[in-house]
């Protein structure tokens, strides 16, 4: 059974994961609007990943006897000056998510809720991958600053990404 503090923190993150998904879908719409369909596709995969994260929180809260409580979400940003600015915004957001996950781990440790600590370890590792993958795109965008044609090559490359849900054991 979840205690009140842990249940509130998990619900807060559940809702924040949905907000994260909305940010990525908004970025996808931005990229589609400027005909960078590969970058849009990459962001749509990010949306799917965030919704997968949302459902992991949903299931965990329910499995522990808690109740999922949905709240109103803020509207995500809708426009960026450049593709690089969008990806820099994505990285800044992922760093916020990392901080939130770390804070929940600390809370779960303080509350001696070992099941929640164990559950959150998947997200700790996931955030390393999330930040790294966004930063890799940022570094490529920076390298091609003086070669705008490179953007079209990157667009094609990122368009190859597919969503692969983690296995049940992950």
Tell me, yes or no, whether 17 lies in a domain. yes
Q: Which helix (H) or strand (E) holds 12?
A: helix 4-33
Give the pLDDT confidence of 141-150 residue by residue, as tens digits: 999 988 888 9
CATH code (residue 110): 1.20.1260.10
For helices 37-63 and 149-158, angle between their N-to-C axes, nearest 10 degrees: 40
How far is C-alpha 164 from the geometric centre of its chain's CA atoms? 15
Tell me, yes or no, whether 168 lies in a domain. no
Tell me, yes or no, whether 38 lies in a domain. yes
> What burial class does residue 1 get, using C-beta atoms within 10 Å of its C-beta: 0-12 exposed, 13-18 middle, 19+ buried?
exposed
Tell me, yes or no, whether 13 lies in a domain. yes
pTM: 0.94
Helix (H, G, I), strand (E, B) or coil at 84: helix
Tell me, yes or no, whether 166 lies in a domain. no
Q: What is the number of structural domains in the chain?
A: 1
Q: Give dist(CA 127, CA 113) in Å, integer.
A: 21
Residue environment code for 10-46, b if the CB has 16+ CB neighbours within 10 A, otherwise e: bbebbbbbbbbbbbbbbbbebbeeeebbbbbbbbbbb
Q: Give dist(CA 149, CA 96) in Å, integer.
A: 32
pLDDT category of residue 170 using cuts at 50, 70 and 90: low
- 133's CB contacts (< 8 A; 6+ apart) are none
Tell me, yes or no, whether 81 lies in a domain. yes
Give the pLDDT confidence of 11-23 residue by residue, as tens digits: 999 999 999 999 9
| Domain encompassing residue 125 | 4-158
Tell me, yes or no, whether 95 lies in a domain. yes
Tell me, yes or no, whether 126 lies in a domain. yes
User: Which structure tokens are listed for 56?
Assistant: 């992991």
Give the pLDDT confidence of 57-113 residue by residue, as tens digits: 999 999 999 999 999 999 999 999 999 999 999 999 999 999 999 999 999 999 999
pLDDT category of residue 41 using cuts at 50, 70 and 90: very high
């Amino acid at each position: 059974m979840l205690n009140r503090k842990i249940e509130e923190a998990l619900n807060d993150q559940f809702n924040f994961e949905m907000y994260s998904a909305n940010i990525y879908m908004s970025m996808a719409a931005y990229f589609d609007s400027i005909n960078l369909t590969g970058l849009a596709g990459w962001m749509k995969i990010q949306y799917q990943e965030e919704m997968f994260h949302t459902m992991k929180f949903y299931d965990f809260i329910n499995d522990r006897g808690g109740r999922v409580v949905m709240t109103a979400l803020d509207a995500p940003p809708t426009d960026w000056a450049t593709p690089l600015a969008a990806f820099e915004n994505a990285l800044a957001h992922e760093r916020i998510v990392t901080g939130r996950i770390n804070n929940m781990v600390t809370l779960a440790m303080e509350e001696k809720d070992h099941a929640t600590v164990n559950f959150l370890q998947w997200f700790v590792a996931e955030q390393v991958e999330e930040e790294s993958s966004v930063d890799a795109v940022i570094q490529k965008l920076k390298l091609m600053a003086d070669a705008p044609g490179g953007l079209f090559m990157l667009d094609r490359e990122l368009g190859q990404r597919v969503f692969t849900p983690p296995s049940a054991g992950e």
